[in-house]
Structure 1
Amino acid sequence: MSEYLLRMEDISKIYPNGVVANKNINFRLKKGEIHALLGENGAGKSTLMKILFGMEKPSSGKIFLNNEELEMNSSKDAIAKGIGMVHQHFTLIDSFTVAQNVTLGIEPKKGFFVNEEEAIKFTKELSDKYKLYIDPKAITGTLPVGLKQKIEILKALARGAKILILDEPTAVLTPQETEQLFAELINLKNQGHTIIFISHKIREVKEISDRITILRNGCQVGEFLTNEVTEQEISNKIVGWKIDSKVEKKELKEGEVRIRVKNLSYTSKDKSPILKDLSFIVRAGTIFGIAGVQGNGQTELVEILTKTRNIQNGTIEINGVDIRNLNIKTLRDLGYSYIPEDRMLKGVASNASVSENLISDEYDSPKLCKKSILRKGEISKLAKSLVKQYSIKCSGIEAKVGSLSGGNIQKIVVARECKNIPKVLIAEQPTRGVDIGAANIIHRELVKLRDEGCAILLVSADLSELMKLCDRLAVMYEGEIVAYFDDLSQVTESELGLCMLGAKKHAPEQIGRMLYE
Structure 2
Amino acid sequence: MSTLIDAPPAVRLTGITKRYPGVVANSDINLSVRRATVHALVGENGAGKSTLMKTLFGLHQPDEGTIEIDGQARTFASPADAIAAGIGMVHQHFMLADNLTVWENVVLGAEPTSSGRLDGARARRDIEAIAQRYGLGVDPRALVEELGVGARQRVEIIKVLYRGARILILDEPTAVLVPQEVDELFGNLADLKAEGLTIIFISHKLDEVRAIADEITVIRRGTTVGTADPRQVTNRQLAEMMVGSALPVPELRESTVTDREVLRLRGVRVAGVGRDVLSDIDLSIRAGEVVGIAGVEGNGQAELVDAIMGLEPVADGAVELAGRDVTRLSTLRRREAGVGFIPEDRHRQGLLLEATLWENRCLGFQTRRPAARGMFLDRAAARADTRRIVEQFDVRTPGIDVLAAALSGGNQQKLIVGREMSGDPALLIASHPTRGVDVGAQAAIWDQLRNARAAGLAVLLISADLEELIGMSDTLRVILRGRIGPPLDPRTVTPESLGVAMTGGHEAGGPDLPDTAGTDRPEQPGQAGVVGSADRVAESDLGTAGGSLSARKVTE
Asked whether 1:425 is paired with 2:428, we answer: yes
Contact 1:84 1:161 in 2 (8 A): yes
Contact 1:78 1:84 in 2 (8 A): yes
Asked whether 1:187 is paired with 2:216, we answer: no
Residue in structure 1 matched with residue 489 of structure 2 by the alignment: 487
Asked whether 1:218 is paired with 2:229, we answer: no
Structure 2 gap segments, 5+ residues each:
1-5, 521-556
- Secondary structure, counterpart of 2:451 in structure 1: helix
The structure-2 alpha-carbon separation of the partners of 1:119 and 1:332, relative to structure 1 and needing over 3 Å to count, comes to closer
The structure-2 alpha-carbon separation of the partners of 1:22 and 1:373, relative to structure 1 and needing over 3 Å to count, comes to closer
Asked whether 1:14 is paired with 2:14, we answer: no
Structure 1 gap segments, 5+ residues each:
none
Asked whether 1:233 is paired with 2:237, we answer: yes
In structure 2, what residue type is equivalent to 1:433?
G
RMSD (Å) for aligned C-alpha atoms? 4.0
Question: For 2:333 and 2:103, how far apart are their aligned partners in 1?
Answer: 49
TM-superposition CA deviations, 1:332-353 (whole Å, max 9, x none): 5544322233434544455665
Question: For 2:136 and 2:338, how far apart are their aligned partners in 1?
Answer: 48
The structure-2 alpha-carbon separation of the partners of 1:434 and 1:113, relative to structure 1 and needing over 3 Å to count, comes to same
The structure-2 alpha-carbon separation of the partners of 1:505 and 1:139, relative to structure 1 and needing over 3 Å to count, comes to farther
Q: Give the share of equivalent positions with the same residue, in percent.
A: 39
- Secondary structure, counterpart of 2:134 in structure 1: coil
More displaced 10-residue stretch of structure 1: 134-143 or 225-234: 134-143
Question: For 2:498 and 2:187, how far apart are their aligned partners in 1?
Answer: 20
Asked whether 1:436 is paired with 2:439, we answer: yes
TM-superposition CA deviations, 1:171-197 (whole Å, max 9, x none): 122334322322222222222221111
Superposition deviation, residue 450 in structure 1: 2.0
1:197 pairs with one of 201, 215, 221: 201
More displaced 10-residue stretch of structure 1: 39-48 or 270-279: 270-279
TM-superposition CA deviations, 1:95-144 (whole Å, max 9, x none): 9997776666556555455666755665576567xx52467977556988
- Secondary structure, counterpart of 1:221 in structure 2: strand
Question: For 1:450 and 1:12, how far apart are their aligned partners in 2?
Answer: 43
In structure 1, what residue type is equivalent to 2:82?
A
TM-superposition CA deviations, 1:19-77 (whole Å, max 9, x none): 32211111111012111111222211111111111221112211111211112222222
Superposition deviation, residue 456 in structure 1: 0.7
Superposition deviation, residue 287 in structure 1: 0.9
More displaced 10-residue stretch of structure 1: 142-151 or 325-334: 142-151
Asked whether 1:207 is paired with 2:211, we answer: yes
The structure-2 alpha-carbon separation of the partners of 1:485 and 1:30, relative to structure 1 and needing over 3 Å to count, comes to farther
In structure 2, what residue type is equivalent to 1:322?
D
- Secondary structure, counterpart of 2:453 in structure 1: helix
Contact 1:249 1:447 in 2 (8 A): no
Residue in structure 2 matched with residue 279 of structure 1 by the alignment: 282
Q: Superposed, which structure 2 residues align to 1:489-508 within 5 Å?
A: 489-501=491-503, 503=505, 505=507
In structure 1, what residue type is equivalent to 2:91?
H
Q: Superposed, which structure 2 residues align to 1:132-281 within 5 Å?
A: 132-133=134-135, 139=141, 149=153, 152-251=156-255, 253-268=257-272, 270=273, 272-281=275-284
Superposition deviation, residue 321 in structure 1: 0.5
TM-score under structure 1 normalisation? Answer: 0.84
In structure 1, what residue type is equivalent to 2:259?
G
Contact 2:127 2:140 in 1 (8 A): no
TM-score under structure 2 normalisation? Answer: 0.78
2:66 pairs with one of 62, 67, 70: 62
Question: For 1:104 and 1:379, how far apart are their aligned partners in 2?
Answer: 41
Contact 2:489 2:515 in 1 (8 A): no
Residue in structure 2 matched with residue 87 of structure 1 by the alignment: 91
Question: For 2:147 and 2:354, how far apart are their aligned partners in 1?
Answer: 36
Asked whether 1:300 is paired with 2:269, we answer: no
Superposition deviation, residue 315 in structure 1: 0.6
Residue in structure 1 matched with residue 294 of structure 2 by the alignment: 291
Superposition deviation, residue 423 in structure 1: 2.4
The structure-2 alpha-carbon separation of the partners of 1:293 and 1:258, relative to structure 1 and needing over 3 Å to count, comes to same
